[in-house]
Amino acid sequence: MKEKEKHKAGIGTRFQNETKYTPDSLSGHVFNLGAIPDTFKEYPNPIARVSLPEPKAGGESGLWKLLLRRRSRREYASGKPLKLNDLSALLWATQGLTAQFGDTFFRTAPSAGGLYPVETYLCVRAVDGLEEGIYHFRPGDYDLEFLKKGDFSRALTEAALQQTLILTAQVTFIWSALIARGSWKYGQRVYRYIYLDAGHIAQNLYLAGEALGLGVCAVGAFYDDDVNRIIDLDGEEETVIYMATVGFRSPQNPL
């Protein structure tokens, strides 16, 4: 089955479409503060509660330190450009190829069935050697396709419910899903898997950003089809599912 063949509509498709943010869907929305559940779940009468030893967060692997420091960092020093080498490292950390067995390629993040339906786009604002604009990452050839020229950070900010961190970030990662790449095998359940895949990828970006001393913040609130239009996606066969900003940590708020 070709990726461009139209996938069959079903409950997953309806869920994707009916949970999209639009100005109308958010109009009049209020938080129900009285319905906030407890932060932690516990059973009132378990057989026992077993205390655990302190986690060895200072262990031999640097991974422990990165996990300890990982934060969503929303304030950036916007003046200088990101090094192209650092951007390349971030891209490899999120979706770089690590092995091949037959026709199957493995990457730095897991994916259901090894199908990898998530695509990576970049809104580049300030990266050495790159013009401002929209780019598409190709893991197989390990390159970027330059799609649209211009500074789209303001349009993307408006599409992301005025979250101004996009204006100062050096680059914003935009992840989409090619539905047919997974639906040929999993049908409507593919929608569960693409969200899981995106979470794996985003966490890799967080950890790689920490390793490079950069700030990362995931963005899940946006007008879906406004972002789709910015990168020229149809919102059905391929649709935006997640974003994340990357920038230099603000000296006023380094933590």
Residue 52 pLDDT: 63
Highest mean pLDDT, choosing among 11-25, 97-111, 143-157 = 143-157
Question: Would you state the structure tokens that stand for residue 67, as one six-digit string?
Answer: 């996990």
pLDDT digits (tens, 9 = 90+) for 169-227: 999 999 999 999 998 898 888 899 999 999 999 999 999 999 999 999 999 999 999 99
User: Taking phi first (over 0 means left), then psi (-120 to 50 degrees means alpha), and beta for anything else, what does residue 105 get?
Assistant: beta
How buried is 250 (Cβ within 10 angstroms: 0-12 exposed, 13-18 middle, 19+ buried)? middle
Residue 226 domain-assigned (yes or no)? yes
Let me know if residue 83 belongs to a domain: yes
In a domain, 47, yes or no: no
> 80 lies in a domain?
yes
- pLDDT on residue 31: 66
Compute φ and ψ for 147, nearest 5 degrees.
-105, -45
Q: Comparing 252 with 93, which gets the higher pLDDT? A: 93
Whether residue 42 is contained in a domain is answered as no
At residue 5, the pLDDT reads: 53
The tokens of 238 are what?
A: 């391929």
32 falls within a domain: no
| Count of domains for the chain | 1
| CA–CA dist 227, 90 (Å, integer) | 22
∠ CA 178-245-132, rounded to 5°: 85
To the question of pTM greater than 0.95 for the whole model, the response is no
Query: pLDDT exceeding 70 applies to what percent of the chain?
Result: 88
What are the tens digits of pLDDT across the range 40-81? 677 787 776 777 676 665 555 588 889 888 999 999 998 899
- The mean pLDDT value of the chain amounts to 87
Give the helix/strand (H/E) hosting 167: helix 165-168
Question: Residue 1 above 50 pLDDT?
Answer: no
In a domain? residue 203: yes
Q: Is residue 143 situated within a structural domain?
A: yes
- What residues form DSSP beta bridges with 177? 118, 239
Range of the domain at 183: 73-249
Residue 155 predicted with pLDDT over 90: yes
Domain containing 143 — which CATH number? 3.40.109.10
Q: 224: closest CA among 24, 72, 28, 7?
A: 24
